[in-house]
Structure 1
Amino acid sequence: MKNEVIAVIGWITLVQGALGAGGQIFGDNAWGLLQKWWDIPTAGYVVLALAGMALALWGESAKKRAKA
C-alpha cells in the first residue's frame, strides 16, 4: 500500500513538473495546477519533474519487489 502511494505521488509530481516546465519553455505561462498557487521558475519545475520521476521509479520498483 505504501509503495503504491509513493508511486502515485511520484507520477503526479512528475506530470506537474513537466507541465510547468513545458508551459514556460514553449508558452507564456506554466501549465498545470501549481502555477495557480505559486510562481515557480523553470528550473524549479525541472527539479519537481526529476524528483517525481525518482519517486515514481522507486515506488514502481518497490511494488514489483513486493510481488516477487
Structure 2
Amino acid sequence: MKNEVIAVIGWITLVQGVLGAGGQIFGDKAWGLLQKWWEIPTAGYVVLALAGLVLAVWGEGAKKRAKA
C-alpha cells in the first residue's frame, strides 16, 4: 500500500513539473495546478519533475518487488 502511494505521488509530481516547465518554456505561463497557488521558476519545475520521476520509479519498482 505504501509503495502504491509513493508511486502515485511521484506520477502526480512528475506531471505537474513537466506541465509547469513546458508552459513556461513554450508559452507565457506555467500550466497545471501549482501555478494557481505559487510562482515557481522554470528550474523549480524541472526539479519537481525529476523528484517525481525518482519517486515514481522507486514506487513502481517497490511494487514489482513486493509482488515477486
Q: Could you say whether these structures have the same fold, taking a TM-score greater than 0.5 normalized by the shorter chain as the test? A: yes
**Residues 1-68 of structure 1: matches in 2 within 5 Å?**
1-68=1-68
How many equivalent residue pairs?
A: 68
Hey, what's the Cα distance between the residues in 2 that align with 1:32 and 1:67? 33
Structure 1 residues not aligned, in runs of 5+: none
Q: What TM-score do you get using the length of structure 2 for normalisation?
A: 1.00
* TM-score (normalizing by structure 1): 1.00
Q: Which blocks of at least 5 consecutive residues in structure 2 are unaligned?
A: none
Q: Which string of whole-angstrom CA distances, capped at 9 and with x for unpartnered residues, describes residues 20-46 of structure 1?
A: 000000000000000000000000000
- For the residue of structure 2 that corresponds to 1:29, the secondary structure is coil
RMSD after superposition? 0.1
